[in-house]
Structure 1
Amino acid sequence: MLWSPDIHSSAEARRQARRRLPWMVFDYIDGAAGEEHGVALNRAALRDIRLRARVLVDVSRRDLGVTLSGETVDRPFGISPMGMCNLAAPGADLMLARLAARHQVPLGVSTVASTPLETMIETAEGHAWFQLYFSGDGSGTMKLVDRAEAAGYKTLVLTLDVPEVARRPRELRHGFTMPFRIGPRQFVDFALHPRWSLTMLVKGKPGMANFQRPGFTFDRTESRAKADWSYLARLRDRWTGKLVVKGVLDVEDAQELKRAGVDAIQVSSHGGRQLDSALPPILALQNIRRALGPEFPLYFDSGIRSGEDVVKTYAVGADFVFLGRILLFAIAAKGEAGLHSLWNALAEEASVTLAQIGRTGLTSLEGGLAQPDSG
């Protein structure tokens, strides 16, 4: 069969990525905390949301555009911050940045990106938000804030659901570490995936680019447990741009964050990578929306696998949605062409879903849900 760049679903992208990537790299991207029940529960909760299919509505013109931070974007989803993206393929970070620039959607730039934060926002043509981890005593965090401000970032995404890095058995089994190290176990794994290995040999193994300069250090395993409300207050005073807090699942936390002056909340379970027994984020989103009312900006990530999932998430209260590992799978499967193929497939799925439920856009989807039949 002739090679084709087309990827028709996130499941297809994952299957192809699993064949192409070393086991260690695939399990780093795909894996989650504990026994991975949290991932499965969130997927089940998303699947159980039912949409009302309406007829005799003119849906010949549909618009996927939404308003984000006062500006209209032409896609209802952006790109979550993901660490060490270049493990999927050399230049994956910049592929994502170019995609963000093309569609003018936010690119989350991870603290542990494979490409310097300055290069990322330049390539994304300004459509980038910097994701921030607290670590140690917080002094290093503030140095990164200064760098992000100097580079032109207008939005910080403070990620708070990693007080300690969770145990992810698949990573532990393979001996995965950051910075990236190669030992005997990894050597055998890489030898069995020669195409990926030879490409990395030519391009160079990825590192944590934001810490490859004097005065900046990062230890992935370092405790982040000292972050508290006083730290948030200091950061809010220091950062004059928009401040998004990511990793929120609790209603009381959401209410307190609103009172503390954050600009938006990103409901997320870190893709199931932190707490296996966490409340499914899609259920947390519904609870938090009811508690905060219709006006406060709520973003969402975790478990999105299709354009239909995107529509469901808007219907239960999201103002914007972020995609994560499925984009890395598309890159691993078929490079930048595969990324664009999956991106367009997700948009088409969302548009077709709107047609099926008799809607022409993603705003004002109240009443678009029907509870599962109990009979």
Structure 2
Amino acid sequence: MVLGREIHSTEDAWRLAKRRLPWMVFDYIDGAAGAGDGAAMNRKALREIRLQPRVLSNVEHRDLGMPVFGHEARKPFGISPMGMCNLSTPGADLMLARLAAREQVPLGVSTVASTPLERMIEVAEGHAWFQLYFSGGGSEATALVKRAKAAGYRTLVLTLDVPEVGRRPRELRRGFKMPFRIGPRQFLDFALHPGWSLETLIKGVPGLANFGGPNGHFDRTSSRARADWTYLDRLRGMWDGNLVVKGVLSVEDALCLREAGVDAIQVSNHGGRQLESAPAAITALGAIRRALGETYPLFFDSGLRSGEDVVKAYATGASFVFFGRPLLFAMAANREPGLTQLWEALSEETSITLAQLGVTSVSAISGQVLYAAP
């Protein structure tokens, strides 16, 4: 452990990452659509949920395991698909894959990962889901689906809340591009953050590993607006594994997706990075759960920062939840030891929260743990 880099919370990870990362990279990871109101709303909505402590329940033994698609994950949260993770620190993709293997939790492998999808599922020992973006006319996406199937992926996560990439002023002001375009501002930025810059120079600037060429042929800003229900039908026909649709906030869409044969829905507003005025994801989760009933699988991400947030998501209707940016901050702060520290902190927070509520397992969480004012 490097002195001064201890991580006891997501706030610690964020603070340390902000210190170490170049401004351009930090603002890309931390940024949100518009002025950031959507991301702030995610946090506000979660903070305002109150939990009901209980006493005189024997909670000496608590179980954090949680089933997901017939598999018992050792922890009740997985790893959201995130693009270009190696920007946080070289090798971040594989750090996440090793964590997924160790904890037997789902790892979302992004279309725009910095490590080939075949390598990711190998290192994750099979605990990996492939996240797919529709692009162009769909031919590139089809090729990726075939690669994922050949590599052994059994779950496909189709992300649909990016018909056009949201405007994120923080990264625009920094001139963030992939591949990097180095001008005077970026040169100064990198010079003032020598730890990250030298390590990245030595290990190599991350590219888009699932596409041809040194930096790939995928344009992260390209339109994906042509995706429609016909495309979903075609994808369902070619993919015989689990199909998850990520980025759903509408009850009407959720009902239609279930009818279309989607195996699970991931309620998410992309962490506030797409539509600033979108509803808080936790609010949408409750509405969709009420509409779909108790048994349909609903996954959740967006705004989670603690073990208490994990419990709140389950109490609101989640079947499984996923952390995203906090894990990038932890790796930026202190590489793999930082990731381990934060993961253990989140696990301990979740376990302690169960004890406070008089609950012995995550699977036993229900709406009854939510505080209702008399």
Tell whether the structures are fold-level matches, with TM greater than 0.5. Answer: yes
Stretches of structure 1 lacking an aligned partner (at least 5 in a row): none
Give per-residue Cα distances to partners, 1:278-314, cap 9 Å, x unaligned.
0100000000000000110000000000011001100
TM-fit CA distance, 1:338? 0.6
Corresponding position of 1:42: 42
| 5+ long unaligned stretches in structure 2 | none
In structure 2, what is the Cα distance between the partners aligned to 1:236 and 1:270? 23
Number of the residue aligned with 1:370: 371
Q: Does 1:192 align with 2:177?
A: no
How far apart are the structure 1 equivalents of 2:332 and 2:209?
20
Q: Note the 1:120-139 alignment, pairs <5 A.
A: 120-139=120-139
Residue 121 of structure 1, CA deviation:
0.5
| 1:180/1:206 contact within 8 Å kept | no
Q: Deviations over 1:311-366 (max 9, x none)?
A: 11001100100000000100010110010010000000000000001100112322
Aligned equivalents of 1:327 and 1:146: distance in 2? Answer: 29
Deviation at 1:368, TM superposition (A): 1.0
User: Counterpart amino acid of 1:359?
Assistant: V
Change (3 A) 1:2 1:95: closer
1:346 aligned onto 2:354 = no
Deviation at residue 60 of structure 1 after TM alignment: 0.4
Q: Contact 2:54/2:356 (CA < 8 Å) preserved in 1?
A: yes
CA 1:372–1:38 in 2, change beyond 3 Å: closer, same or farther? farther
What's the counterpart of residue 33 of structure 2? 33
| Contact 1:50 1:372 (8 Å CA) reproduced | no
Task: Spell out, residue by residue over 1:182-217, the C-alpha distance to the aligned partner (whole angstroms, 9 max, x if none).
Answer: 232211100110111111111110111111359x73
For residues 197 and 125 of structure 1, what CA distance do their matches in structure 2 show?
31
1:11 matches 2:19: no
Displacement of 1:3: 1.1
* Aligned 8 A contact 1:107 1:127 in 2: yes
> Structure 2 counterpart of 1:370, which letter?
Y
In the alignment, structure 1 residue 225 sits paired with structure 2 residue 225: yes
- Give 1:108's aligned amino acid: G
Deviation at 1:372? 5.0
Q: How does 1:82-161 map to 2 (within 5 A)?
A: 82-161=82-161
In the aligned structure 1, how far is the partner of 2:143 from the partner of 2:183? Answer: 33
TM-aligned CA deviation for residue 219 of structure 1: 1.1
Cα distance in 2 between the residues matched to 1:39 and 1:148: 31
Corresponding position of 1:300: 300
Contact 1:157–1:244 (Cα < 8 Å) also in 2: yes
Q: Which residue is equivalent to 1:315?
A: 315
Amino acid at match of 1:23: W
Residues 33, 169 of structure 2: 8 Å contact kept = yes
Question: Match for residue 209 of structure 1?
Answer: 209
Q: Give the aligned CA root-mean-square deviation in angstroms.
A: 1.4
CA contact (8 A) 2:314 2:320 kept: yes
Deviations 1:149-181 (A, max 9, x none): 111111000000000001000010011112333
Counterpart residue identity of residue 145, structure 2: V
* CA pair 243-2 structure 1, distance change in 2 beyond 3 A: closer
Q: How far apart, in 1, do the equivalents of 2:123 and 2:180 lie?
A: 25
How many percent identity over aligned positions?
69
Contact 2:6 2:341 in 1 (8 A): yes
What is residue 66 of structure 1 aligned with on the other side?
66
CA contact (8 A) 1:5 1:337 kept: no
User: Match of 1:80, as an amino acid?
Assistant: S
Task: Describe the superposition over 1:54-92 as per-residue Cα deviations: whole angstroms up to 9, x where unpaired.
Answer: 000000000011111112111000000000100110000
Ranges of 4+ aligned residues in structure 1 off by more than 4 Å: none
Q: 2:109 and 2:294 mapped to 1: Cα distance?
A: 28
**1:179 counterpart = 2:179:** yes
Aligned: 1:237 with 2:237: yes
How many residue pairs get aligned? The number is: 372
SS in 1 for 2:153: coil
SS in 1 for 2:364: coil
CA contact (8 A) 1:104 1:127 kept: yes
